[in-house]
Amino acid sequence: MHRLEEIWITLSVGLLLVFMLIIGYQTFALGMGPPSHKETIDPQEVDETEPFDDPGVKETGDNEYEIVMTMQAFQFTPGDIEIPAGAEVTFTLATKDVTHGFQVAGTNINAMVMPGHVQKITHTFDEPGEFLILCNEYCGIGHQMMSTTITVT
């Protein structure tokens, strides 16, 4: 083998090993793995499965709320949510049909809600205002109409 070829192969394999070591260190030592696939749900039985049998806004503590929400083509249940400013809100989400997106414009909430998986996101709404919740995963013919609002008062 040519000398230069040996050098390049050594360099590229070395780089790959370094990257894999960094990712391994972040995942296992620092616990930076994605928090997905933690909770599963039978996508056919969302309406019968707790807590999705009773979707809505629930006060769980001092200015802490859980919003249990189901998604289906092409709506969010419940819609038009109201919460007080400064509230720490945990969204617990499940879809009844296909994959939907859950994005709250003006915040960094942006999640994919896949059939069979329960998605959870926590966010503190400090500023009053009206936030648009929209689906950002193409889910069918009415996808662009799939939105609702969360009003922080």
Residues that bind ligand CUA (CB under 6 A): 74, 100, 135, 137-139, 143, 146
Give the nearest distance from C-beta 50 to ligand CUA in angstroms. Answer: 23
Nearest residue (CB) to ligand CUA, 49 versus 147: 147
Q: How far apart are CA 8 and CA 18, in angstroms?
A: 15
Q: Are 113 and 94 in contact (CB under 8 A)?
A: yes
Give me the least distance between CB of 14 and ligand CUA, in Å please. Answer: 44
Q: How far is the CB of 146 from ligand CUA (least distance, A)?
A: 4
Of 92, 107, 104, 95, the C-alpha closest to 42 is: 95
Tell the smallest beta-carbon distance from residue 106 to ligand CUA (Å).
19
Residue 27, SS3 per DSSP: helix
The nearer residue to ligand CUA, 87 or 111, going by C-beta atoms, is 111
20, containing H or E segment = helix 3-24
Two tokens, residue 74:
């092409």
> Nearest Cα to 46, choosing from 110, 107, 92, 109?
92
Return the number of the residue (103 or 152) whose C-beta is nearest ligand CUA: 103
Q: Which of 65/91 has CB closer to ligand CUA?
A: 91
